[in-house]
Structure 1
Amino acid sequence: MLKKLLSVCAGLFLTLTVYAATAQWADHHPDTYIVQKGDTLWSISAKFLKQPWLWPEVWQDNQKVRNPHLIYPGDELVVSGRHLGHGDGSIGPHARITSYDDAIPPIPLSALKQWLKNTRIVGEDDFRNAPHVVGIEENQLRGAAGQLVYIRGLSAQPGQRLALVRPSGRYYDMPPEDANSPREVFRQEKDARDGRPALLWRHGPNEFSLKGNVRFLGYEMRDFGVVEVTRSGDVSSALVTYSDFEVRAGDYVLPIEDKPYDDQYVPHSPSKAPDNMRVVAFSDALNAVGSKQVIALSRGSEDSIENGQTFSIYQPGEEITDRTDYPDESARKFFHPHDSKLVLPSEFIGHVMIFRTFNRVSYGLVMDSIKPVHIGAFLHDPDTTP
């Protein structure tokens, strides 16, 4: 499936929008570069450009690169001033009998496999009405591929294929401290309690606060298997045809998404970075993540977030006390406590590219980082500094 995705990603990049910006060449960039297996267009561009997300603009302006999205291992790229092209000789432009599968991808799609096809965000009504597994054949506690499972609340015909899903958390936002600031988005991990009532938002603990109503944004669900209905009824039977891990009672069944991901990722700067867009969750990490890991972000399509947008990641500066001019227990600090406090400048962390968006939440891939990315880090226009 991933190989097919790589093929589609490379093959369909025949038309792209050029985003106006001034590209800056990286210091000490190489004069030539031989494309290696495992490269991506982003990683190669990072060797030439200080802003690697601008590769479509620079490469499309050079006629020697016939298609900036179809570059293959073994190709020699020559960089001279603002000109980029294929090298001369046998490696240069020539008739090629090569599958699109062999072209290098724009970004490392292997890092996104789980999040492209295995993660979705659903609303409260969809979750409330989702059919659920009530048992496994022969009264087993766990099921796997090749076994029957029994599903309650399912309206489907024999032969229909459906996705097995399991909730992993939910997103919500709260009123900010400052009335003029955007609402803050948070992610709450699925708690240890079983049962749908314990998970449904209206039965949760965070429906209101002294600052105002807390708004539910969606449940994060993990697709982990596929079932095929064998018998329909009050309790339907279905054969597990594929499963990443064991099926258990309480898992849910939802329709298979026809197109769960976008197959075209053209990195570009946003026309305007949303206010207070922050990192709210990680993939497979507790404290911090780095390059080629996925982060969940607090803005979505409602805020004009779209796939391919690239942002800079900054860590907010810490608040410290100036103890040189305001020593502890001094009269100056006592009478001017606020003047003793300073907020350090924000620190640049790296870049993130959006690859999947929902109404109020989006997922991004950390493309490069010089420091770990922590929850609470904020996103900014990559062409400017905060």
Structure 2
Amino acid sequence: MSEQTAGGCRRWLALGALALGIALGGLLPFEPAAAATLRDDAPSRYTVTRGDTLWDIAGRFLDHPWQWPEVWDGNPQIDDPHWIYPGDVIYLYRENGQPRLGLEPGQGGVVRLSPQVREVPRREAIPPLPLESVQRFLDANRIVGPGEFDNAAYVIAGDDRRIVSGAGDRIYVRGELPPGERFGIYRRGERYLDPDSGEFLGLELETLGEARLVRRDGDVALLRVTASRQEIRQGDRLLTQESLPVTPAFQPHAPEQPLEGRILAVPGGVQFIGRLDVVALDLGQRDGLSRGAVLAVEQQGETLSDPQTGEPVQLPGEDAGWLMVFRLYDRVSYALVMHATRSLAVGDRVHAPRSDDLLAGSARRP
């Protein structure tokens, strides 16, 4: 069996540890996340202010903010909950015994009730999460598969034989450039491996800048650097720029199947992982993960010595936070820490939320 096949089997056969759960030596069946529940101190009304996110607003009403689609789903007053604006009032009511959130539009735009149309600049809408911090990360990081980096064209010299180059400078590149005129300039970063099987998952690249093609001459091309984040040196590689738009059009949701993985790394060298930090996970599209998926983080329990037998005993793990996936690759994904009850760490396990997670989490108040 190949390492890749073994890695895939590992995830689907890992219906033990976290995805199905282990408690007192017996397996607990996987139960999808329970329905959304209201906080005990949920307000009856809340006025949206500039700087809010949908996660923040939902967190004022719900035990688990990522479940906001459940209380807005099918609400004719909020056909698209992603276009909520400062000055709008969110109010709480019940429909057939179920909590719902309604909307009273503010006075900043034009409102027609039939059909409902709001002529408010889209740039002022409340985003689902801090999109600016996510965009800054996406602009600086990228994952590629085996051989993609090593086979890419590379910088052989700067204009006037400069050792380093920056925005406005010209660079000479050797190798086969893909079709197009605009390219990203990258440097090798961390190599991600499956913690259990050692399978190669992806190579993280550090984005240095952007360049535009001036002309080609055989296998050597001349390009002008149009933007730079760092100094560009000999050996740096060029690839077609990755399209990385950050859109508020996705909704948070629990995975539909049991998933188990780990935090692989914290890009940027952050030592202590907390809220709004970005982490890399050893889960991707091949595992059934999707953008907007919310995962629970479980920290490994402490290992103690049994006072009677002297044998080492590992205590059960404890959920310590929530992640939302915002960028997907085949075997790796990036997620934003939306809530953390303690400092998270590389190696912490992640899994699909379960009913027992939600019940326990309601006392912690994400």
TM above 0.5, yes or no, is yes
* 1:254 and 2:239 are equivalent in the alignment: yes
Q: Secondary structure at the match of 1:269?
A: coil
* 1:62 and 2:79 are equivalent in the alignment: no
**Contact conserved, 1:291 with 1:366, CA < 8 A, in 2?**
yes
* 1:372 and 2:356 are equivalent in the alignment: no
In the alignment of these two chains, the number of paired residues is 315
Q: Which residue of 2 is the match for residue 118 of structure 1?
A: 140
Residue 21 (structure 1) shift: 5.0
Residue 366 of structure 1 aligns to which amino acid in structure 2? V
Q: CA separation of 1:90/1:314 partners in 2, compared to 1, >3 Å: closer, same or farther?
A: same
Q: CA separation of 1:21/1:347 partners in 2, compared to 1, >3 Å: closer, same or farther?
A: closer
Q: Which residue of 1 is the match for residue 129 of structure 2?
A: 107
Residue 115 (structure 1) shift: 3.3
1:83 to 84, 100, 119: 100
Moved more, 364-373 or 82-91: 82-91
CA distances 1:94-129 after superposition (whole Å, capped 9, x unpaired): 344311111111111112113333322112221221
Q: CA separation of 1:33/1:303 partners in 2, compared to 1, >3 Å: closer, same or farther?
A: same
Q: CA separation of 1:40/1:89 partners in 2, compared to 1, >3 Å: closer, same or farther?
A: closer
Note the residue ranges of structure 2 that are not aligned, 5 or more in a row: 1-31, 113-117, 358-366
Q: Secondary structure at the match of 2:136?
A: helix
CA distances 1:290-313 after superposition (whole Å, capped 9, x unpaired): 111101111111111111110111
Matches within 5 A, 1:195-274: 214-233=198-217, 234-257=219-242, 259-261=243-245, 263=247, 264-274=249-259
Considering only aligned residues, what root-mean-square deviation do their CA atoms show, in Å? Answer: 2.4
Q: Secondary structure at the match of 1:290?
A: coil
**Contact conserved, 2:267 with 2:278, CA < 8 A, in 1?**
yes
Residue 41 (structure 1) shift: 0.6
Q: Which has the larger radius of gyration?
A: 1
Q: Which residue of 2 is the match for residue 381 of structure 1?
A: 352
Note the residue ranges of structure 1 that are not aligned, 5 or more in a row: 1-18, 177-182, 184-213, 327-335
Matches within 5 A, 1:1-16: none
**Contact conserved, 1:117 with 1:261, CA < 8 A, in 2?**
no
Q: Which residue of 1 is the match for residue 56 of structure 2?
A: 43
1:167 to 188, 193, 198: 188
Q: Which residue of 1 is the match for residue 321 of structure 2?
A: 350
**Contact conserved, 2:51 with 2:126, CA < 8 A, in 1?**
yes
Q: Which residue of 2 is the match for residue 337 of structure 1?
A: 310
Identity %: 35
CA distance in 1, matches of 2:341, 2:348: 14
CA distances 1:161-195 after superposition (whole Å, capped 9, x unpaired): 11111111111225x4xxxxxx3xxxxxxxxxxxx
CA distance in 2, matches of 1:138, 1:94: 60
Q: Secondary structure at the match of 2:255?
A: coil
CA distance in 2, matches of 1:92, 1:103: 11
**Contact conserved, 1:40 with 1:107, CA < 8 A, in 2?**
yes
**Contact conserved, 1:160 with 1:229, CA < 8 A, in 2?**
yes
**Contact conserved, 2:266 with 2:279, CA < 8 A, in 1?**
yes
**Contact conserved, 2:184 with 2:239, CA < 8 A, in 1?**
yes
* 1:313 and 2:334 are equivalent in the alignment: no
Q: Secondary structure at the match of 2:265?
A: strand
CA distance in 2, matches of 1:173, 1:60: 37
**Contact conserved, 2:33 with 2:353, CA < 8 A, in 1?**
no
Q: CA separation of 1:89/1:278 partners in 2, compared to 1, >3 Å: closer, same or farther?
A: closer
Q: CA separation of 1:104/1:262 partners in 2, compared to 1, >3 Å: closer, same or farther?
A: closer
CA distance in 1, matches of 2:151, 2:160: 27
Q: Which residue of 1 is the match for residue 38 of structure 2?
A: 25
CA distance in 1, matches of 2:33, 2:348: 27
Residue 238 (structure 1) shift: 0.8
**Contact conserved, 2:201 with 2:282, CA < 8 A, in 1?**
no
Q: Give the structure-1-normalised TM-score.
A: 0.75
CA distances 1:194-227 after superposition (whole Å, capped 9, x unpaired): xxxxxxxxxxxxxxxxxxxx43222111223111
1:139 to 161, 165, 175: 161
Residue 75 of structure 1 aligns to which amino acid in structure 2? D
Q: CA separation of 1:26/1:319 partners in 2, compared to 1, >3 Å: closer, same or farther?
A: same
